[in-house]
Structure 1
Amino acid sequence: MEWDDFYERAENWSKSTLSQRISSLKTIGEAWEISDIAELIKDQELNAKLIKKV
């Protein structure tokens, strides 16, 4: 998967979609991926939720 494609799609994700993804994380790699998205959209609440999950 190309990172540019990933970020393009990520920008279109809603906050609820990201929140659902965080709730179902299974690997640290997925956590880093979501962290990048949350940072991309500058959402403090999602970042805090991620930190608790990891």
Structure 2
Amino acid sequence: MAMQFYASPEQIMRDRSELARKGIARGRSAVVLSYEGGVLFVAENLSSALH
């Protein structure tokens, strides 16, 4: 059984916003929406490893 690591919600949001800024700095589009149930982050996936 894999051990799951804990990250505070604040740390997760900081990490996500940092990733979004890096993507935008590279000219990649991203859409981030906050809603009652959480946050939706959508971006193009250029990886050929995922279908």
**Which TM-score band (shorter chain)?**
0.3 to 0.5
What TM-score do the two structures reach when normalised by structure 2? Answer: 0.37
Larger Rg: 2
Determine which structure has greater relative contact order: mean sequence separation of CA pairs < 8 Å that are 6+ residues apart, divided by chain length: 1
What TM-score do the two structures reach when normalised by structure 1? Answer: 0.36
- Please identify which structure carries the higher helix content: 1
